[in-house]
Structure 1
Amino acid sequence: MKKRLSTIMSKLKFQQGKSLGLLLVIVIILIFAGGVGLSVTSSNSFCITCHEMQPEHLTYKVTSHAQFSCTTCHLTPGVGSYIESKVKVMGYIGKHITGNYKGPIVASEPIPNQVCEKCHSTMRKVTASGDINIPHEKHLEHDIACTACHGGVAHAFVAERGLTTQENSATWTLAKAEEVSKFDDTKTAMEACMDCHEQVNQGLKPWEENQGLGKTEAQRVAERQASEKQAKDGNGELPGAVQAIAKAGTSELTAPMRCAPCHLKIQTPVNHVDKSWSNTHGITAAQDIKWCAECHSRQRDRVLITAQTTVQDYARSNTLCAPCHEKRPTGHLENKQQWLPTHGNVVKDKGAQNCLVCHETEKATDQNNQKMPGVNAVTCNTCHWFKNGKVETPQ
C-alpha cells in the first residue's frame, strides 16, 4: 500500500494541472479502499512526512503529551469526525505536493473541550505549582475552550510567535524545540487572563468572537509588538484613565482583576503591610514608579513606562490603582460648604502633589513636549490664578 502511495505521489509531482484533480481522487479512493491506508494516515509518522510539520512535531516531542498520538488530541471522537479528518488529510497532501500551502500552519479551530476531558478532570482547581487557584467549572459553564488558557502546552505557541516561517523550517532540531518550549513559553500568560477579565467587566464575551479563545495568542503578540514600537518611537505616554471596574448594569458577569482571588501565595512587600501604607504609597511610587509596575502593571503599560512617566499618569491608567483613584475622596462629597473654605489648609498640611493626582494642571503630550490642559476639568486655576498654572505648597 505504501509503495502504491509513493508511486502516485511521484507522478503527481510531474503531472500538475488537469490531471492533478483526477490523481487526487485516485489517492482518496485507494486510501479509503484499504484499512491499511486509514491506519497509516492516523499515525504520527504520516503526520511528520511533510517538512512543514517539523516545528509542531518536535515541540510536541519535548512535552508530556508526547506519550499520545497526534490524533488523540487532533481527532474529535465520532465516525463523522473521523471521515471528515480523512478528507482534510487529502487536502493537506495536495497542498504539500503543489506547494500551495500558506504558513504559519495553525489549527483552523480550537481543540474541543471533550477531547481534553478524555484525560483531564474538569473539577481540578489547583495547578501543579500549587499557587494558582482557578475555578475551571466557572469557565467551562460559559463554553470557554480549554485551549483559551492551555493552548501552548503541546506546541509552545511557535506559530503564533512567528517561529515557523518557511525560511527557518530547515533549522528545526530537537534541541531548538527544547529551547523554545521552556515553561514560560508554554504556560498561560497572566496577560491572557487580564485581557479576558477586563473585557468581561466591560460587558463583553470575547470567547464568543474567537471560538472560545478570548483574545488569541497571535493578537497578544501583535499588541506587545505594537507597544514596544510605540515606546521606541514616542515618549512613553501611558493610556488615559481606564474604566477598571464594571459599572452596575453593564455586565451580567464579573471577573477579578486583583491577585488574591487566583494566587494562593503572594509575597507582599514589608512596607505594604504597614497601616499607613494606603496614605503613603504615593510617595514611594513617585520615587520609583517602575518598582510599582513590576507587579501592578499590565505588560503593555510596563513597556511604555519611561523616566518621563509621572505617578499621577500611572495612577489613572493602571487597572489596580484606578478603582480607588477614580473615586472622589470622602471629604469632597460630604459637607461641601465646609470643604471649600478649608481645602487650602489640607494643601498646606499634605502638599499639592496629592491634589495633582486628579487635578493635573498641564500635561506633556508629544515628543515636542507641548503642554495641554490636564485630564480633570476642575483644577486650581478654575477658581484661583497661579502663574503659569503651577501650584506650589505655601511655605
Structure 2
Amino acid sequence: MAFWRRSKQTEISPQTETREGKKKAGLIRRLWQKFRNIDWKNPVNRWKLGFALLFGLIAMSGTAYGAIAFTSNPVFCSSCHEMAPEYQTFKASAHSEIKCTQCHIEPGAKNMVLHKIESMKEVYYHIVGPPDPIVQTVPVLKVNCGQCHSDNRLVTATGDLKVNHKKHVEESIPCITCHAGVAHGKVVDRGINGSETYDHWTEENIGKLMTKEYTNPNMGTCIDCHDKVNKGEKPWKDIAYSLPVNTHGAEKDKGHDSEKAATASGDGTAAEPHDSVVGVEGKHETNTKTQAIILQALGKQKEDVKLSMECLTCHEEISIPKNHQQKNWNQGHGGAALKELNQCLDCHKDSKWIREMPKQDILTLINGEKDEKYVPNIKTVKDKSRDSAFCSTCHAERPDGHGDSDNWLTAHAPKAKTNEAKAQCFVCHDKEKPAADKKTTAPTDVYCQFCHRTGFKGEKGA
C-alpha cells in the first residue's frame, strides 16, 4: 500500500504542478512577460511604444481638460440643490456672462488643478450627507477682478455719490470688501440661502430677491470701514472682514469656522470674528459703538477724525432738511415724526448706517410687503424709535426739559394728563415693570409704575 501511494503521487504530481503553474500566470503577468520579450533594439518597436505613450498622454490630457471645462461651467454648479441661491443670483447679476471660476479661482493652470482636487471633498460632503448652505470662506482676489476691470479710475460717480476710487486702490483694499454683493446679492448675510429656501430660488422669484439694494455697496460698509480707519485700524487686512458671517449652525461649526478662517488668513492664526450685530432693525440691542458711528456720520464727533463721515463728504445732492435746521429741532421733532414717520425712516433706517445686513424671510420677500399708507400712530412711532439705534442715540440721554430730578418728579404731572401726552413719555419709559424673561426696548430703566404703583387717574377699574 505504501508503494502504491508513493507511485500514485509520483504519477500525478507533475500534472498537478503544471495546472497550478498555469493558474498562477494571470493576465497582467502574461502581458508583462510579453512586454519583456519584445525586441526593443528594433526601431519599429520603439516607435510603436512612443506612439502608444503619446496617444495615452493626449487621451489623459483631453479627459482632464474636459473634466475641468465641464465642472467650470455654471450649469454644472446648478446641478447641486444647495447651489440654487448662488446660481440664480449669478444669472441675474452683471457677471452672468463669465464663468464662476474666473472669480473664485486665482488665475493660473496650477491653481485651477489644485482647486479641482480640493473640491472633491465638497462632492463627498454632497453625497454622504444633507448639504449645508454655501458660505464663502475664500475671498475673491483683486487679481481676479483685474482680468476684466482696470484700476485707472479716479472717481466713481453714481447719481449724487462720489467715491475716491483711486485712493482705495492705493491702499490695497480688496475689491470684494466694497463690492461683496455684486454677484450674489449678499444672500448669506441676509440669511436667505438656507436649506429651507432652495425650492424658492427660481427664475420667477429672482427679480424680487436680487435687487440693487443688495448688489450695490451699502453705506454701512463705508461707514464701518471709515470708523475703523479713524481708530487707526486697517480692517481689510484681515481676510475675514471681506467674507460674509457664517450664521449657519454657528454653535456646531464654531471651531470648524475658526479653522477655516485660520487657513484663509494664511498665517495659521484664526481671524477675528465680526463684531456682534447691534442696532439692526428687528433687534432691540443698541450700544455706544453703534451710536458713536451715527454721531460721526452726522458730523457731531470731529475729534481724531481722519476720514470724514458726514453726508456731504460723499453725497453731492443730499442735504439736511430745512426743518432740521430750526432752533431746538431736537426738542420738538416728535410731532413731525408722528406725521411723517416714513420720510424720517428713509434716512434714519439703521440698516443704512450699519454694515451687517438684517436677517430676512424669503417668503416675505417673494410675496411682497404691501406699502400701506402710513396713518399717524404714536405707538408705531414709539416702537420704531425704540428699535432704532439712530433714535436711541439721543433718546437714551436725559432731556433738558426734565430739569433736576427733585423738581421734575413733583412737576411733570401736568405734562402727562392726556393719553397723547402719556404716549410721548412711553417713547422712553416703560409703563409697567418689565418681566424678568422679557428684554425691554426702552432706552432707560425708569418705568412709570415704580412710583405710580396704583396706576393712573382714569385707569382704575379698567
TM-score by length of 2: 0.52
Aligned to 1:192: 221
Matches of 2:183 and 2:129, distance apart in 1: 26
Matches of 1:134 and 1:100, distance apart in 2: 44
Matches of 1:159 and 1:214, distance apart in 2: 10
Matches of 2:136 and 2:344, distance apart in 1: 39
Aligned to 2:333: 285
Q: Shift of the alpha carbon at 1:315?
A: 8.2
Aligned to 1:242: 292
Aligned to 1:91: 121
Q: Which runs of 5+ in 1 are unaligned?
A: 1-28, 232-236, 326-350, 373-395
Question: Is 1:257 matched up with 2:305?
Answer: no
Q: Shift of the alpha carbon at 1:112?
A: 0.4
Q: Which runs of 5+ in 2 are unaligned?
A: 1-58, 248-272, 359-379, 410-424, 434-443, 448-462
Are the structure 2 counterparts of residues 315 and 221 from structure 1 closer, same or farther at C-alpha, using a change threshold of 3 Å?
Answer: closer
Question: Is 1:119 matched up with 2:194?
Answer: no
Q: Shift of the alpha carbon at 1:58?
A: 1.3
Question: Which of 258, 273, 277 pairs up with 1:223?
Answer: 277
Are the structure 2 counterparts of residues 284 and 226 from structure 1 closer, same or farther at C-alpha, using a change threshold of 3 Å?
Answer: closer
1:171-190 aligned at under 5 Å gives the runs 171-190=200-219
8 Å contact 1:156–1:181 — kept in the other structure? yes
1:92-111 aligned at under 5 Å gives the runs 92-99=122-129, 101=131, 103-111=132-140
Matches of 1:315 and 1:38, distance apart in 2: 54
Q: Shift of the alpha carbon at 1:105?
A: 0.5
Number of corresponding residues: 296
Q: Shift of the alpha carbon at 1:180?
A: 0.3
**Max Rg structure:** 2
Q: Shift of the alpha carbon at 1:164?
A: 1.7
Q: Shift of the alpha carbon at 1:352?
A: 5.9
Matches of 1:214 and 1:47, distance apart in 2: 21
Aligned to 1:65: 95
Are the structure 2 counterparts of residues 87 and 203 from structure 1 closer, same or farther at C-alpha, using a change threshold of 3 Å?
Answer: same
Q: Shift of the alpha carbon at 1:47?
A: 2.2
8 Å contact 1:111–1:147 — kept in the other structure? yes
For the residue of structure 2 that corresponds to 1:122, the secondary structure is coil
TM-score by length of 1: 0.60
Q: Shift of the alpha carbon at 1:298?
A: 4.0
Q: Shift of the alpha carbon at 1:259?
A: 0.9
Question: Is 1:317 matched up with 2:403?
Answer: no
Q: Shift of the alpha carbon at 1:38?
A: 2.6
For the residue of structure 2 that corresponds to 1:174, the secondary structure is coil
Aligned to 1:141: 170
RMSD: 4.5
Question: Which of 79, 82, 88 pairs up with 2:112?
Answer: 82
Matches of 2:199 and 2:244, distance apart in 1: 31
Per-residue CA distance 1:279-316 (angstroms, 9 max, x = gap) = 4433443544566664356448999x953869xx9788
Q: Report the identity percentage.
A: 28
1:258-277 aligned at under 5 Å gives the runs 258-271=310-323, 277=325
Matches of 1:151 and 1:307, distance apart in 2: 34
Are the structure 2 counterparts of residues 182 and 227 from structure 1 closer, same or farther at C-alpha, using a change threshold of 3 Å?
Answer: closer
Q: Shift of the alpha carbon at 1:371?
A: 3.5
Aligned to 2:68: 38
For the residue of structure 2 that corresponds to 1:159, the secondary structure is helix
Per-residue CA distance 1:372-395 (angstroms, 9 max, x = gap) = 9xxxxxxxxxxxxxxxxxxxxxxx
8 Å contact 2:230–2:307 — kept in the other structure? yes
8 Å contact 1:60–1:155 — kept in the other structure? yes
Aligned to 2:382: 307
For the residue of structure 1 that corresponds to 2:311, the secondary structure is coil
Aligned to 1:295: 347
For the residue of structure 2 that corresponds to 1:134, the secondary structure is strand
8 Å contact 2:89–2:206 — kept in the other structure? yes
Q: Shift of the alpha carbon at 1:154?
A: 1.0
Q: Shift of the alpha carbon at 1:36?
A: 2.1
Matches of 1:52 and 1:105, distance apart in 2: 7
